[in-house]
C-alpha cells in the first residue's frame, strides 16, 4: 500500500498544482505581492475616468483565463517590486480577459489576436503603443517599454485625431496609410463606417475612401452599396479598376468556404453557389463571368478535378486584360497542382510582360517562379491590404 501511495502521490500533487494554476486569475498573483503591479478591478469606463482624474496613462494586460503565458507573465514579472514601483506610480493598470465583457471591446479596438498582449493608452482610450505576444518578456524589457510610452504621453496619435473629428483629405490619406502599414483591418473598417454615418454613402465615391472599400465584409451595407451602384464607381474610376476590386473582394478562401457545410464532411451547398451567381447578375457586376470562373476553379479543386480547374483557368485567359492575367496566375498558383502548375506558368509570364504596375509585376514574378518550380503560394487567399496598395 505504501509503495502504491509513493507512486501515486507525486503525480496527483502535480495534477492538483496545475489545476489550481489554471483556476488562478491571470493577474491575482501580481496584486499586492512583493510590491508588484496593483491592478484596477472596476469596469473599463471607470478606469478611463480614474486615469483622467489622476492624470495617468492606462496599462492594459490583455489575457485569457486559459492562457498559460499570461499567467507566467503575471506571476513571475508583474509581481516584481521594480514593476510595481513604475507601473503603480504612472499608470492605471487594467487586467482584462479578452473573451469577456470589456475585454471583447478592447480586443476589437486594438486588434488583439494573441495573448498576452500589452497596451498603453492615454486617458481618452487612444493607444500609445502595444506589445503583441508578450508572454516571454522580462521585467527589465517591460520597464523600458513603459518608460518609452511615458515620453510619448503628450503625442496626439492619428487615431486620436480621427476620433476627435479631423477629416481633411490629406489627413485621411495619412491615417489610412498608417493603418495599412499596421495591417489594422478593424480600424480601417470602423473608420470607413464612421465616415459613411457622418456623410452618407456618396463619401465612398471619393478618394481615399474608395480605396478601402475592400476592407469591408462582403455582406456589409457598404459592400452592398458598392455592388448595387457599381456603375457610379465605374463612371468615376473606370471599369477595370472597379472590376478588379470586386473580383478580389469575392475571390477569397473565407468566402468560398461558405459554399461548404462546416465540419469534417465539408458538403458542397449548391444553393449558396446559386445565390452567389444570382447576386452577380442582379448587381450587374462587371466581369461577372471572370469572377464566377475563379470560384468555379476553387470548387473543381475541392472536388478533386484538377484537369477541370485548369480548363476553367485557361478559358478565363480569353481576351484577358493585364490585371486579369495577374489574377488568373494567382488563382492557378493557389489551386493547381502537379503538371498543371507548369502549364499555367505562361499566364504569370504574360502578366509580367503586360503589366506596367510594379506591384502587379513583382507579384506575378513570384507566381511565375512558384508555378515553374512547383512551389506553393505563400498566401492562399486575396490579401485586402495588397489589393488596396495596388489600387
Spell out the per-residue pLDDT of the chain, length 391, in tens.
444 444 444 444 444 434 444 444 444 333 444 689 999 989 999 999 999 999 999 999 999 999 999 999 999 999 999 999 999 999 999 999 999 989 999 998 888 888 999 999 999 999 999 988 788 899 999 999 999 999 998 889 999 999 999 999 999 999 999 988 887 888 899 999 999 999 999 999 998 999 999 888 888 999 999 999 999 999 999 999 999 999 888 877 777 888 999 888 889 999 999 999 999 999 999 999 999 999 999 999 999 999 999 999 999 999 999 999 999 999 999 999 999 999 999 999 999 998 777 778 888 999 999 999 876 544 444 555 454 444 4
Q: SS3 string of the chain?
A: CHHHHHHHHHHHHHHHHHHHHHHCCCCHHHCCCCCCCCEECCCHHHHHHHHHHHCCEEEEEEECCCCHHHHHHHHHHHCCHHHHHHHHHHEEEEEEECCCHHHHHHHHHCCCCCCCEEEEECCCCCEEEEECCCCCCCHHHHHHHHHHHHHCCCCCCHHHHHHCCCCCHHHHHHHHHHHHHCCCHHHHHHHHHHHHHHHCHHHHHCCCCHHHHHHCCCCCHHHHHHHHCHHHHHHHHCHHHHHHHHHHHHCCHHHHHHHECCCCCCCECHHHHHHHHHHHHHCCCCCHHHHHHHHHHHHHHHCCCHHHHHHHHHHHCCCCCHHHHHHHHHHHHHHCCCHHHHHHHHHHHHHHHHCCCHHHHHHHHHHHHHHHCCCCCCCCCCCHHHHHHHC
Number of Cβ within 10 Å of residue 38's Cβ equals: 18
Q: What is the value of pTM for the model shown?
A: 0.70
Domains located in the chain, CATH noted: 2-155 (3.40.30.10), 163-390 (1.25.40)
Amino acid at each position: 500500500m505504501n509503495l502504491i501511495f509513493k507512486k501515486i502521490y507525486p503525480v496527483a500533487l502535480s495534477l492538483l498544482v496545475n489545476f489550481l494554476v489554471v483556476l488562478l486569475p491571470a493577474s491575482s498573483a501580481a496584486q499586492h505581492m512583493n510590491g508588484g503591479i496593483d491592478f484596477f478591478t472596476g469596469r473599463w469606463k471607470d478606469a478611463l475616468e480614474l486615469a483622467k482624474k489622476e492624470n495617468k496613462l492606462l496599462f492594459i494586460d490583455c489575457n485569457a483565463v486559459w492562457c498559460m503565458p499570461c499567467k507566467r507573465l503575471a506571476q513571475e514579472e508583474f509581481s516584481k517590486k521594480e514593476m510595481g514601483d513604475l507601473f503603480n506610480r504612472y499608470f492605471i493598470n487594467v487586467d482584462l480577459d479578452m473573451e469577456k465583457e470589456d475585454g471583447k471591446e478592447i480586443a476589437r479596438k486594438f486588434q488583439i489576436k494573441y495573448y498576452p498582449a500589452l497596451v498603453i493608452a492615454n486617458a481618452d482610450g487612444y493607444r500609445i503603443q502595444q506589445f503583441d505576444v508578450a508572454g516571454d518578456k522580462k521585467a527589465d524589457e517591460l520597464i523600458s517599454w513603459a518608460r518609452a510610452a511615458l515620453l510619448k504621453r503628450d503625442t496626439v496619435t492619428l487615431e486620436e485625431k480621427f476620433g476627435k473629428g479631423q477629416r481633411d483629405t490629406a489627413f485621411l490619406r495619412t491615417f489610412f496609410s498608417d493603418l495599412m502599414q499596421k495591417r489594422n483591418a478593424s480600424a480601417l473598417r470602423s473608420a470607413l463606417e464612421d465616415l459613411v454615418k457622418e456623410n452618407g454613402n456618396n463619401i465612398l465615391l471619393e478618394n481615399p475612401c474608395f480605396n478601402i472599400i475592400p476592407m469591408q465584409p462582403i455582406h456589409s451595407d457598404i459592400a452592398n452599396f458598392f455592388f448595387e451602384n457599381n456603375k457610379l464607381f465605374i463612371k468615376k474610376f473606370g471599369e477595370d479598376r472597379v472590376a478588379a476590386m470586386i473580383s478580389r473582394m469575392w475571390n477569397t478562401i473565407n468566402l468560398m468556404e461558405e459554399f461548404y457545410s462546416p465540419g469534417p464532411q465539408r458538403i458542397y451547398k449548391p444553393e449558396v453557389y446559386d445565390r452567389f451567381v444570382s447576386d452577380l447578375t442582379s448587381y450587374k457586376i462587371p466581369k461577372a463571368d471572370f469572377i464566377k470562373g475563379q470560384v468555379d476553379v476553387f470548387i473543381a479543386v475541392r472536388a478533386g478535378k484538377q484537369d477541370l480547374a485548369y480548363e476553367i483557368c485557361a478559358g478565363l485567359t480569353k481576351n484577358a486584360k493585364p490585371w486579369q492575367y495577374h489574377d488568373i496566375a494567382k488563382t492557378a498558383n493557389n489551386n493547381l497542382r502537379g503538371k498543371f502548375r507548369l502549364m499555367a506558368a505562361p499566364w504569370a509570364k504574360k502578366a509580367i510582360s503586360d503589366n506596367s504596375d510594379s506591384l502587379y509585376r513583382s507579384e506575378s514574378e513570384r507566381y511565375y517562379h512558384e508555378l515553374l518550380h512547383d512551389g506553393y503560394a505563400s498566401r492562399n487567399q486575396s490579401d485586402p491590404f495588397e489589393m488596396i496598395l495596388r489600387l
